[in-house]
Structure 1
Amino acid sequence: MNDLREWTAALCADLGIDEEQFDYPLVLAMARDAERTAAKPAGPITVYLIGMAVAQGLSPAEAATKLDALRQRWARIDWRD
């Protein structure tokens, strides 16, 4: 995890983002949930889209809530139909 933190710190610095505002557990949980619900490539795509939503004013907590609601809806779908 140290390499991940160092990478993230460097990327935040290069992008002008305050690393203290980055919530590692929340972002990793959102990626994990998307991968488990839809498909492995859904993780990075989901995190990118959530980042775009946060940039437009949605809080990370609100984004996580919306993702959880979507995950729950998908869990109820019978994909065999």
Structure 2
Amino acid sequence: MTVMDNWVSAACAELGLDPAGVEVKVVLDLARDVAHQVLRPGAPVAAYLLGVAVGRGADPAEAAARLADLARDWPDAEPDPVRGSER
């Protein structure tokens, strides 16, 4: 098992969830897209919003794809504090 597997198993146990239903790659891919295309702090917020949507019955892959598409189409208006330029 990897550290991620161990973390997901422990977090799921803490929250009473089944780790088999956790789409780690889907969440990580979404977080990457939001962090790179919108802004870094948006990544955990997007992951949270994905979780809320899934908790309300949305399909995880479909909801993540919709958010990733939104991130990829996001206007490059937010300055990147690391690079000091417009994104």
Over the aligned positions, Cα root-mean-square deviation in angstroms equals 1.7
User: Structure 2 matches for 1:1-81, cutoff 5 A?
Assistant: 2-74=2-74, 77=75, 79=77
* Structure of greater relative contact order (alpha carbons < 8 Å, 6+ residues apart): 2
TM-score, scaled to structure 1: 0.83
Give TM-score, length-normalised by structure 2. 0.78
Deviation sequence 1:9-42 (CA, Å, 0-9, x none): 1010111111011111111101111101111111
Q: Specify which structure has the higher proportion of strand.
A: 2
Task: Structure 2: state its 5+ residue gaps.
Answer: 78-85
Name segments (4+ residues, structure 1) moved above 6 Å. none
Structure with the bigger percentage of helix: 1
Distance 1:73 1:16, change over 3 A: same
Distance in 2, matches of 1:42 and 1:78, equals 14
Secondary structure, in 3 states, of the residue corresponding to 1:31?
Answer: helix
Sequence identity (%): 38
- Specify every segment of 5 or more residues in structure 1 that has no aligned partner in the other structure, as ranges: none
Aligned length: 78
